[in-house]
Chains A and B, each alone.
Chain A
Amino acid sequence: MERLLRIVVPVTGPVSEWASGYAAGLGSWCAFVGEAIAWTFRRPFRLQIILQQMEFVGVKSTGIVALTAFFTGAVFALQAGNIYALFNVEIMVGATVALSLAREMAPVFAALMVTARACSAMAAELGTMRVTEQIDALTTMAIDPIQYLVVPRLWATTLMLPLLTMVFNVVGCIGGYVVGIYLLGIHDGPYLERLYYYLDGDDIIGGLVKSAFFGFAIAAVSCYQGFWSQGGAAGVGRATTRAVVISAVTVLILDYFLTTWILEFFTS
């Protein structure tokens, strides 16, 4: 038995350590999110800070989201147009662009842009506050730092990401339209007629629901990383990197599961 252990432990040791560390991390993340949700419903409600964060996450991200949306729609129309020309179905370009934007590209890309622009800043800001003891200072002043710092960021992102996704949808379709009509020379009547025919309200709503989940997830991940960062400036840097990487991966994985759920929900 002992000899068996001596062979097995060096192999399983690191693996189980990694697994238990990972499980502990996930557990404390869940506790963190649970606490944030609990503090949401307790007084005082800090509406002003939520509005400030909504401006930071939403309004100030609109430009970059619109820019990426335009070119995403444009390049998509270009590629689709070239392929559809082989089958003589160029009029389907508009519908293809709009559908894939509404269902997949707008929620995912908007979430990734917000992760890069706003959530990295959240992690860095909270991380700096942690290592310079500002979070401790809040605590000693009897202000719960999760309520004061995390709750506004969490809900601001959850509320604003669907709006940004809608902006992405609209601007992306404009990008597709510009390329389709002016560059590829598709007739705009049939182009729009096919678009209206194939695009359902459910497609857009499904995408928006997804993006709300994405918003919650990326803000929760980034705030958690920043909030519990340690080890000076280098630690804040690591926390920010982790926030962006984990948020991006989370969005893509979550996307798959949400999509299966949404397809089920909206088709049944």
Chain B
Amino acid sequence: MIELIDLHKSFGTQRVLRGVNLTIPDGKITVILGPSGTGKTVLLRHIIRLVLPDRGTIRVDGVEMGKLKSQELNEFRKRFGMLFQQAALFDSLTVEENVAFPLVEHFKERDPVRVAATVRKKLELVGLAEAIHKMPSELSGGMRKRVGLARAIVLEPKIILYDEPTTGLDPITAAAIDNLILSMQKTFSVTSVIISHDVVSAFRVADQVAMLHDGCIVECGAPKDFQRSDHPVVREFLKAAHVVNGEVHR
């Protein structure tokens, strides 16, 4: 379980997070929606302590992230996988080396043949087996994101943080990625936190949907309840996405 309690974060004079409270249950998929620039990425980066909050606590499985020392923190981070919004691939390594990187660096797998097999399997899951020998600079944005996804799941972590996994993908690939996220949750009971703009896909995969607005979580609940919310911002967001009662209307 991930608990975010009263998180505050400012950059200069801009107050991005103003008291975020959110509980993310184990083995479930939580989707965080919100307009562009509200601080969704900032929130996600807090969970894995890439940024420290000005105020507030983050507890993962009961452990307070802010209190860990650097080596304990590194041990703890092995439970996480993270997909960055811009993928953040290592541009001096090939696609294959990028995906193999966590495996090799943590000495999980010493046998190069088995590493190659695992890498190929993960790349097939994201539909990129043919790009295995390319450099990141030779990939499209959507391909890069899928390589980032393969890298995030290669160690089969318990908690995966996705920053807009399907943005910039065509509907078919997006649906395939949604299914991948779902199947990971089913088979390994992964805890997933997904940031998304895509309301339709959010309702397809989520067990819990939360809405970040003006630095606070303004609505949080199961997809059904979320859709019935009468918070004006949520209503507006859903209306703009043409979602009424879980159906897309145009």
A6 within 8 A of B: no
**Chain B at the A interface: mostly helix, strand, loop or mixed?**
mixed
Asked if A12 CB lies within 8 Å of chain B CBs, one says no
Against A, the Cβ 8 Å flags (1 = close, 0 = not) of B20-43 are 000000000000000000000000
B77→A141 contact, CB < 8 A:
yes
- Does A142 contact B91, Cβ atoms closer than 8 Å? no
Q: Which of B77, B78, B90 contacts A134 (CB 8 A)?
A: B90
Known contacts A134-B91, A136-B88; A144 and B70 CB within 8 A of each other:
yes
Instruction: List residues 90-108 of chain B with CB under 8 A from any CB of chain A.
Output: 90-91, 101-102, 105-107
Chain A neighbourhood of B84, CB < 8 A:
133, 136-137
A162 CB to nearest B CB, Å = 28
Query: Number of contacting residues on B, CB 8 A?
Result: 24
- Given known pairs A44-B107, A134-B91, A139-B50, the reply for A144 and B86 (CB within 8 Å) is no
Q: Given contacts A140-B82, A143-B105, are A133 and B88 in contact (CB under 8 A)?
A: yes
On whether the beta carbons of B77 and A142 are closer than 8 Å, the reply is yes
* A44 to B89 CA separation, bound complex (whole angstroms): 23
A residues less than 8 Å from B101 (CB atoms) = 141
Q: Which of B162-208 contact A (CB under 8 A)?
A: none
A3 at the interface (CB under 8 A from B): no
The chain B residue with its CB closest to the CB of A132 is B88
CA distance A136 to B85 in the complex (A): 12
Residues of B participating in the A interface, judged by any CB pair closer than 8 Å: 45, 48, 50, 70-71, 74-78, 80-82, 84, 86, 88-91, 101-102, 105-107
Interchain residue pairs with CB less than 8 A apart (13) = A44-B107, A133-B84, A133-B86, A134-B90, A137-B88, A139-B48, A139-B50, A140-B82, A141-B77, A141-B101, A141-B105, A142-B77, A143-B105
